[in-house]
Amino acid sequence: MIDSSMLPDFIVEAAEHLEVMESSLLRLEQGYEVTDKELMDEIFRSIHSIKGAAQFVGIERVSELSHKLENLLDLIRRGEITLSPAITDLLIAGKDRLTLLVDELERTKAEETEVSDLVEQVRRVIEGEDVEDDAPEETVSGSGAAQEEVLQGLGEKEEQSGLLTEENMSDEFDEELYNIFLQQLKENIPFLYAQTVELSISVDKQDVLYRCSDSIKSLKSSANYMGYEKLTQHYSNWQHAIDNAVEQLSSGKMPNLNFMQDYIDEIIRSFPQAMEGYSYDDADELGDGHQDEQHETSSIDSALNSIFADEDPAGVSDSPVAHQEEDSEDTPEPEEVAGEGIDLDDALDTIFSDEHGGVSDHGENADFQSLGDEASRAEHSLGPVIKEEAGNAAETVPLEYELSDDEYDEELISIFLKKLKGDIEYIQTQIAEYLAGADIRKILENCHDAIGRLSSSANYMEYMSLTAFCEVWQNVVDGYLTDVSAGLVPDIAPGLQEFVDKIISVYPQIVESEQQNGDDEIFSDAEGADAGFDDSPKESNASAGKEDKDKEQAEEFEGVTAGEKTEHVAQTENVSADKALFDRLSTALETPEYANNVSEGSIDRVIEEIIESPGYEEESEPSSNEENGTIAGSHLLDQVVTSSTSDKKEVAVDNAHTDDIPDTAEEKIQDTSDYDEPVPGGGEKEEIKNDLSDHSPQSKLGLAKSEILEQEKQEKAAEGEQEQQSAKKASTFRSSIRVDAEKVDFLMNQVGELVVSRAYFAQLVNEIRGLEMQLLESSGTSKSQLKPLHEFAFRLSEAGVHLGRVSNELQEGVMKVRMLPIDQLFKRYPRLVRDLARNTNKDVKLVTRGEETELDKMVIESLSDPLIHIIRNSVDHGLENAEDRLRAGKPAQGTLILEAFHESDHIVVEISDDGRGLDTQRIKAKALERGLVSEDELERMPEQELTRLIMLPGFSTAEKATQTSGRGVGMDVVKKNIEKLNGTVELFSEAGKGTRLRIKIPLTMAIIQALMVRVGKEKFTIPLTSVEETLRVFRHEISEIEGVDVIHLRDNTMPIFQLAKIYNIDRQASQEGKMFVVVVSTGTQELGLVVDELLGQEEVVIKPLADYLRLESGFNGATILGDGGISLILDIPELVKIAKENQILRQGQRTLGFKRKKRNAAETAEQVH
Amino acid sequence: MADTMADTFTADKMTEQDEGDQQLMQLVGFTIGDEHFGVNILMVQEIIRSAPITSVPNSPEFIEGVINLRGNIIPVIELRKRLNLFREEAASEDPWILILDINSRVTGFIVDSVTRVLKIMEDTIEPPPDVVVAGLANQYIRGVCDIGESLLILLDFNRILLADELNQLRAIDGD
């Protein structure tokens, strides 16, 4: 279940981590080195964080996949898997899938895409390495993994053909060959699928079958070449089947054609890679058969996975058997075992037996205390050292084990513990209420919720075992709930209490504080008894032993023990069963051979038991008998407790095997002197353990698993290191905060206002000065009389200057808030380049420089698309393939450089490649062909201008559109986008040497530097980015060419336009025959705009204009002047377009004499509207 | 005129009591020339008297320009021109600007005068008649409502802002 409140945060976070991961992966891929530990760590950190967050939020697939990837990465990091292209591809595929899932989460709040295929692949790679641990060569990781896949694919599903068993033997097979083989599979299998589908609809089935047969034939030969005998055989059979079908068809019969599907399925199971990227798109078409297959496989996958996952805790569990004495840290907590239980078939049973086992241990502990000093004496005999060690172990183990390291946030832990305590107390209260006779259903539901809370906080702390434990617990509670719904009245108290005890035993801190609070009366008793045992504070309702001791504790139990009829029928039954057992036990007390009767299965469980309990040492030391008894007893109890029907109880009672076992338990409980007798020395315990492992095949397995545990330990340690590093890293990032962009925008707007009012201030000063002058001149006031006014004006201007300084700094500061390093943008492209280079079979190296250059986030976002187009162009068209490059005397690897730097108030982003450059001849030809320019124009066009042609819409020199580019949209989009940013694009190209594209954009979009001009009464604002220079031009300098006013500027002619004419503004013609010309550039063209006055340079805040005012009007916004007036901001490229259109129009009018007609037409048109 | 208003008001009150207020509609009444118009009060953001209007060259004719409304730049439409009403008459010298929020596009409309707030019942609004009312194309009319002496025309500002605007722009470009 996904916690939707956390989802947005998760998405943002995951996206960031994925980004980091991708860039690291790409770097990794380039080097194929694992030596760069930092890099590996970074990837690891990213995936780890994603996993953690996903688990916390409850996003299953993401967490599953990331967990697997993490495992794989860890193996790589430890050098157990050698990095190969296949593996990096897998990692990248995994990352892509995660990105996809995160996208889906963002859009639909649900995970739609399956991950099982990737999980499976990863798992295979991991397992492949496990198997071939001692031969970690390059080939092994790639092809070995692939082979492993093959093996798995078959082994998993269908033994019937066992297609490829012998293929796996060929360890040193050629990876390249294998890839070719796979490629062929990839091509043929989808084809066969299509044919199969067609088969069901086609009339000419024979023809289809022949085609299939051909395809299979080629597959067969490739399989044969690879030496895959079984596969070849498979194909032969297939062909045979087809031949049969054809025969049947020709004889007019209708054969069953389902075999096609079966054969294909078989192949796909064996070679899931063959269907990569195919099965998703086409699965639907391919019929249900295939889908079912997939489902089946995935469910099996997950089953296997769970078993695989299962091994880890099991390994952990077993390890202490070997290392018990060595290190208290090794002692894992009981939950681990509980977690293991989940995946097993008889999950609940096992768990129960485990839990009960543990609980009865604890119960015994309590008994030791209450029954006398024997137990403590026994303990003392073991030596205080051990006890202390054990005590420490219990106290620290869970933390050390799960927290990975001690620099884990202590605050978090304390919060967690507080929460844990709260929840546990709550559950205990619920149990107490239940005992007091409250509504059982309600209590169960409450408990369920509480456990859920616990689970999620454990999840947050990444206490996996605890989480698993909680899950089991919840399952148990659910089980009770079902019972209740079925009308049964289960005795929930013992079951719940066990879990509580278990938790308390692991987190004794809770108890300590509980004791302080003393708020749980029911259990304080037991705790009191356990005071000496700070590691095992427990009291077990379910344990048989408890009954002796706890009689006085709760009425219900009293009743139970007495076998009285209480309202809890089931409970009574259970207890009477217990009672019956007790009776038998007492009679069987003398039987010493009970230990031998204990089954191997129980022995194995003993081992788990040993491991399970942190306080175990004390108990395990005394007696193996006791161990067995405990386990067996627990086993029995398990049956008793889980069954609320009398049938099961009878089974339990009648079971001779179990008969013996309770004896032991009873023995210990009832008679402490008996207890003392079978206590062997500590050394003996070791022996017994060895014995046990010898006897039990399972425990052997366990020992083997202890190796895995070693790995696990290392992993944990590594993780600890990891945590440490990320903690360090975090400290460098700690100063950053995530702020809603809107808030920043608001600040930005306010600062904009401030800047405006500063200008107003300056204007006021001027007005006062003007007033002063006026007074001085007209009203004849003397200078001394005006002195106060003068002084005031001065002070006002001082204040204005001060305000200006502050607001400048403020503005800068706020602008910096929005600034991000362009690295944010650049780091998106390595992947793009990689994929592009792959698609085009080129070798391209991407170099980025100046990543630290900062610019507005908005600008970064709007640059993203244009850069994609440019990079595509460069890789697709600009850079040649390796042979061409070598022929041209260039290194085989092409270089693409992304560079960013500041240039005054602008950011310049340059994208350059060392490819073939623009082909001006082709451009010319294309431009002519498309009628974009006339031949005449082309003749006169300078080289520089020619290159600009490619930015025209629809211009493409590509002969045909490739997958990536060539449709002629690219450069047009680039230009449009950059212009939107008030930026310019320039293109430089040299044939054979390369192309360089230069994008110049202002630092921010909200505030721009602008030139204020006046035309008539209107004030206009021209973005300074577009302004090249300003000129003062005399009328005689203007000449007219083809109806266009031009001036000569440095040996060039430049057209000039009257802004007043373009906008139909009334104005007095300038008398002096002198005028101001602002030379503006659109990046592709320069021209002059005639204005009446230059008002100066100013910083202006861009305010949006309504779209219908912006469209084709030549304005892209407005700004508010110091006096509150409005000045429109010119959109230079658009303005130039309008000016040219006007001019063409005028020219046409003039030359064709349509002037009047046109005007009339215009007027009528206007009237119509 | 005030009397008429008052009458309407009381009449409204009575119907309000009869039918409950869920169908009651509040309108801001305004005039252009002699015609009475109404706009749903919920659309009216504010009403201002004369503000300096900056004209926008190359914009459709009916756009008077833009104003600075507390730091926001808002286009102002001369409603008279937009609706092609009473072309001969000169606009009132001291115009009012109705600032309306039309689907979050805040736009000013110049009108001759703003009268007062009217309450009418929704069901007294009749669909626009087929004949042209006051020389006004009925595409801009949401409905008409008899308020005693005169007819109140409810304008459809969504249409006014959008419908022909683009065409108009095209036409201008085509010129």
Chain B residues in contact with A1128 by the CB 8 A cut-off are 54, 56-57, 66
Of the candidates A20, A114, A105, the residue with the CA atom closest to the CA atom of residue A59: A105
Contact B129, B144 (CB under 8 A): yes
| Mean pLDDT, residues A1084-1112 | 80
Which chain A residue lies closest to B54 (C-alpha atoms)? Answer: A1126
Distance between CA A1029 and CA A1022 in Å, rounded?
12
pLDDT the model gives residue A462: 66
Instruction: Judge whether residue A1028 has pLDDT over 80.
Output: yes
Instruction: Judge whether residue A308 has pLDDT over 70.
Output: no
Token pair belonging to A307: 């078993």
Q: Do A749 and B71 touch (CB under 8 A)?
A: yes
Of chain A, the percentage scoring pLDDT greater than 70 comes to 53
pLDDT band at A487 (very low <50, low <70, confident <90, very high): low
Q: Would residue A886 be called left, alpha or beta, if left means φ above 0 and alpha means ψ between -120 and 50 degrees?
A: alpha
pLDDT the model gives residue A669: 42
Instruction: Convert the pLDDT of each residue in A235-257 to its tens digit.
Output: 777 777 777 777 777 776 666 66
Q: Do A1106 and B105 touch (CB under 8 A)?
A: yes
Instruction: Judge whether residue A774 has pLDDT over 60.
Output: yes
What angle do the packed helices A656-670 and A624-642 form, to 10 degrees? 120
Interface residues of chain A, partner chain B, Cβ below 8 Å: 749, 753, 756, 1018, 1062-1065, 1103-1106, 1108-1109, 1111-1115, 1118, 1120, 1124-1128, 1138, 1161-1162, 1165-1166, 1168-1169
pLDDT band at A352 (very low <50, low <70, confident <90, very high): very low
Give the CA distances from residue A934 to residues A124, A937, A941, in Å, rounded to whole numbers and listed in that order. Answer: 64, 5, 10
Contact A808, A1099 (CB under 8 A): no
Q: Would residue A894 be called left, alpha or beta, if left means φ above 0 and alpha means ψ between -120 and 50 degrees?
A: beta
A307-321, A433-447, A732-746, A910-924: which is most confident: A910-924
B12: contact with A, CB 8 A cutoff: no
Phi, psi of A560, deg, nearest 5: -60, -50
Q: Do A1103 and B168 touch (CB under 8 A)?
A: no
pLDDT the model gives residue A296: 42
| Mean pLDDT, residues A1104-1115 | 75
Distance between CA A198 and CA A243 in Å, rounded?
18
The shortest C-alpha distance from B128 to chain A (Å) reads 20
3-state DSSP assignment of residue A1044 = strand
Q: Strand B113-121's sheet: what is its strand order?
A: B113-121, B24-32, B35-40, B151-155, B141-146
Pairing between β-strand B35-40 and β-strand B151-155 as defined by DSSP bridges? parallel
Chain A residues in contact with B173 by the CB 8 A cut-off are 1112
Kindly report the number of other CB atoms within 10 A of residue A625's CB atom: 22
Chain B residues in contact with A1127 by the CB 8 A cut-off are 54
Distance between CA A903 and CA A526 in Å, rounded?
77
Distance between CA A1027 and CA A986 in Å, rounded?
15
Distance between CA A962 and CA B133 in Å, rounded?
60
pLDDT the model gives residue A452: 76
Side chain identity at A375, as an amino acid letter?
A
Of the candidates A1129, A1135, A1036, the residue with the CA atom closest to the CA atom of residue A1088: A1135
Instruction: Convert the pLDDT of each residue in B12-50 to its tens digit.
Output: 444 444 444 457 888 898 888 778 888 888 889 888 887
Instruction: Judge whether residue A171 has pLDDT over 60.
Output: no
Token pair belonging to A789: 């006014």
User: Out of A1062, A1103, A1108, whose CB is closest to B169?
Assistant: A1108
Distance between CA A1073 and CA A1069 in Å, rounded?
9
| Mean pLDDT, residues A1115-1127 | 81
pLDDT the model gives residue A953: 64
Reported in sequence order, the residue ranges of A629-746 that DSSP labels E, i.e. its strands, are none
User: Could you tell me which residue, B40 or A622, shows the higher pLDDT?
Assistant: B40
Please name every residue paired with A1008 in a beta bridge, in sequence order, or none if there are none.
A1100
B125: contact with A, CB 8 A cutoff: no
Pairing between β-strand B44-49 and β-strand B151-155 as defined by DSSP bridges? unpaired
| Mean pLDDT, residues A393-406 | 39
Interface predicted TM-score of the whole assembly (ipTM), two decimals: 0.77
User: Out of B71, B166, B173, whose CB is closest to A1120?
Assistant: B71
Chain A residues in contact with B63 by the CB 8 A cut-off are 1108-1109
Contact A621, A382 (CB under 8 A): yes
pLDDT the model gives residue B162: 66
Residue entry with tokens 């599903």: A157
Side chain identity at A774, as an amino acid letter?
Q
Among A502-506, A560-564, B102-106, the least confident range:
A560-564
Please name every residue paired with A1078 in a beta bridge, in sequence order, or none if there are none.
A1030, A1089
Distance between CA A978 and CA A338 in Å, rounded?
60
Instruction: Judge whether residue A286 has pLDDT over 70.
Output: no
Name the average pLDDT for chain A. Answer: 64
Instruction: Convert the pLDDT of each residue in A6-59 to its tens digit.
Output: 777 788 888 888 887 887 777 777 765 555 677 777 787 888 888 888 877 777
Distance between CA B110 and CA B48 in Å, rounded?
10
pLDDT band at A118 (very low <50, low <70, confident <90, very high): confident
User: Could you tell me which residue, A420 or A584, shows the higher pLDDT?
Assistant: A420
Interface test with A, best of B48, B50, B53, B54 (most A CBs within 10 A): B54
The shortest C-alpha distance from A567 to chain B (Å) reads 60
Chain A residues in contact with B101 by the CB 8 A cut-off are none
Pairing between β-strand A1007-1015 and β-strand A994-1002 as defined by DSSP bridges? unpaired
Total residues belonging to chain A: 1169
Pairing between β-strand B105-111 and β-strand B72-78 as defined by DSSP bridges? parallel
What angle do the packed helices A258-270 and A288-323 form, to 10 degrees? 30
Pairing between β-strand A1027-1034 and β-strand A1074-1081 as defined by DSSP bridges? antiparallel
Token pair belonging to A867: 């850069």
pLDDT band at A1161 (very low <50, low <70, confident <90, very high): low
Please name every residue paired with A1023 in a beta bridge, in sequence order, or none if there are none.
A1010
Instruction: Convert the pLDDT of each residue in A329-341 to its tens digit.
Output: 333 444 333 333 3
Please name every residue paired with A1098 in a beta bridge, in sequence order, or none if there are none.
A1010
Instruction: Judge whether residue A150 has pLDDT over 80.
Output: no
B68: contact with A, CB 8 A cutoff: yes
Instruction: Judge whether residue B60 has pLDDT over 80.
Output: no
DSSP A227-242: T-HHHHHHHHHHHHHH
| Mean pLDDT, residues A421-442 | 75
Instruction: Judge whether residue A1034 has pLDDT over 70.
Output: yes
Contact A164, A148 (CB under 8 A): no
DSSP B136: B
Of the candidates A295, A678, A361, the residue with the CA atom closest to the CA atom of residue A535: A361
pLDDT band at A1166 (very low <50, low <70, confident <90, very high): low
Token pair belonging to B161: 């802002």
Interface test with B, best of A748, A1105, A1109 (most B CBs within 10 A): A1109
pLDDT the model gives residue A276: 47
Give the CA distances from residue A793 to residues A755, A765, B51, in Å, rounded to whole numbers and listed in that order. Answer: 20, 6, 29
pLDDT the model gives residue B175: 41
Question: Which H or E element spans position A1149?
Answer: helix A1132-1152
Distance between CA B110 and CA B97 in Å, rounded?
5
pLDDT the model gives residue A46: 81
B101: contact with A, CB 8 A cutoff: no
Distance between CA A666 and CA A982 in Å, rounded?
88
Which chain A residue lies closest to B167 (C-alpha atoms)? Answer: A1169
Of the candidates A1028, A942, A929, A938, the residue with the CA atom closest to the CA atom of residue A989: A942
Contact A338, A314 (CB under 8 A): no
In sequence order, the 6+-apart residues with CB closer than 8 A to the CB of A870 are A911, A970, A974, A997
Phi, psi of A1112, deg, nearest 5: 50, 25
Instruction: Convert the pLDDT of each residue in A573-608 to its tens digit.
Output: 444 444 444 445 444 444 444 434 444 444 445 444
Interface test with A, best of B55, B73, B100 (most A CBs within 10 A): B73
Give the CA distances from residue A582 to residues A628, A855, A1102, in Å, rounded to whole numbers and listed in that order. Answer: 17, 80, 89
Instruction: Judge whether residue A121 has pLDDT over 70.
Output: yes
Contact B94, B73 (CB under 8 A): no
| Mean pLDDT, residues A48-73 | 81
Instruction: Convert the pLDDT of each residue in A800-837 to its tens digit.
Output: 888 888 888 887 788 778 778 888 888 888 888 888 88
Token pair belonging to A838: 């792959």
| Mean pLDDT, residues A721-725 | 50
In sequence order, the 6+-apart residues with CB closer than 8 A to the CB of A548 are A367, A669, A670
Instruction: Convert the pLDDT of each residue in A990-1020 to its tens digit.
Output: 877 888 888 888 766 667 788 998 888 888 9
Kindly report the number of other CB atoms within 10 A of residue B23's CB atom: 13
Chain A residues in contact with B107 by the CB 8 A cut-off are 1106
Distance of CA A445 to the CA centre of its chain: 33
The shortest C-alpha distance from A820 to chain B (Å) reads 28
In sequence order, the 6+-apart residues with CB closer than 8 A to the CB of A5 are none
Contact A355, A340 (CB under 8 A): no
C-alpha dihedral sign at A199, A204, A207, A210: positive
Chain B residues in contact with A1063 by the CB 8 A cut-off are 57-58
List the domains of chain B with CATH numbers: 2-174 (2.40.50.180)
| Mean pLDDT, residues A443-459 | 75
